[in-house]
Structure 1
């Protein structure tokens, strides 16, 4: 039996309201103390381009301060250009290594690549205290034609504890590792997806009434899928918190 478009739109609005509630609950769980991770922001970039990256570092300890942040760049996919932004109250040490295969650039061949960047505070007063976070910035490029780049990171605390953010990203459907490495997802620069999309004239030729019904139905199904995924995420987080 064909449903009336108004009924479908009402269902879509109700699903959106439920989705908002579920997402809000998941955000509360993610933002809870003790669940912060070292991350790279933004999380996505375009292959072949240049980008400014921020490594966001929270102090998770209740009693010790962060006194060193060491980020390792992916040596298997070296970056020809790496620039470190000055960070007030901290100084950076850049370590380079000779590349097995030189990189060809517009300015000639690059024979050495940045292996690691280590930030340390100029004085204990500048260390990241419990409950604080900071961002350490670099500009890199051109980004290689791979699906992602992983930046393994070591975080050292004033009590000598070292947290190793080196775990690979979880596979689809698997729980997140305890100490995931900051990962930058790289998207193709090609605009093929938009080129394959039908024109507005083609869409209009199929009839507005039928198109609205199909679009609304697709919206409802998409929302249901997102709800299921959000529910699974919330359940996983709750199990981890109570486990």
Structure 2
């Protein structure tokens, strides 16, 4: 029973990482130039994702690096669109695609909200634009510019990696403890 609870905990902790348009790293400092990775999962089982429209901060220099098989178009004013070169290059159901954007120097602000529009093959557009709180139904990707002492390597903030590793260690320790206790109780019987 405890092993099942530990596995459920692991799945619950991992679930948020697979949903919605996400940005990594999540923390930077004003004045930095960072390479951001926007991860776009296709959450629909019946249609491919055929475009991603991102709204970057206007006036901040951006260098777009579309993934292989995709193109990028800068519409001006911070509005950029990524689209597959061919229909079979779209993001299929249950899959995800990473899009890289080098942005900077970053403005002096507390955060940058990256609104995004995800277009599916059947014409549906999902608007990832809400930035009011953690319970938003369609949350925008947010880059925290407070810095908060996040360690940096080669100009990139790496704290999400450290937090993920710590969570994984805690979960694995819990699972190991549960297995050890279960084996001890079997030996005692």
Per the TM superposition, whether the score is higher than 0.5 is yes
Output the aligned Cα RMSD.
Answer: 2.5
Moved over 4 A (4+): 24-27
The question of whether the paired residues in 2 share the 8 Å contact of 1:38 and 1:57 is answered with yes
DSSP-derived class of the 1:28 partner = helix
CA distance in 1, matches of 2:118, 2:66: 19
SS at structure 1 position matched to 2:100: strand
The residue matched to 2:88 in structure 1 has which SS?
Answer: helix
Contact 2:27 2:147 in 1 (8 A): no
The one of 63, 74, 82 aligned to 2:46: 63
Within-5 A mapping of 1:204-219: none
- Residue 47 of structure 1 contacts residue 189 of structure 1 at CA under 8 Å; is this kept in 2? no
Normalised to the residue count of structure 1, the TM-score between the two structures is: 0.55
Structure 2 gap segments, 5+ residues each:
150-189
- Report SS of the residue matched to 1:46: coil
Q: 1:82 aligns with which of 62, 76, 95?
A: 62
Aligned length: 146
User: TM-score, normalising length from structure 2?
Assistant: 0.70
Distance 1:68 1:144, change over 3 A: same
Partner of 1:176: 135
1:120 corresponds to which residue? 83
- The 1:131–1:144 alpha-carbon spacing in structure 2 relative to 1, beyond 3 Å, is same
Partners of 2:65 and 2:139 lie apart in 1 by 24
Asked whether the 8 Å contact 1:149–1:185 carries over to 2, the reply is yes
Larger Rg: 1
| Alignment gaps of 5+ in structure 1 | 1-20, 98-114, 191-243
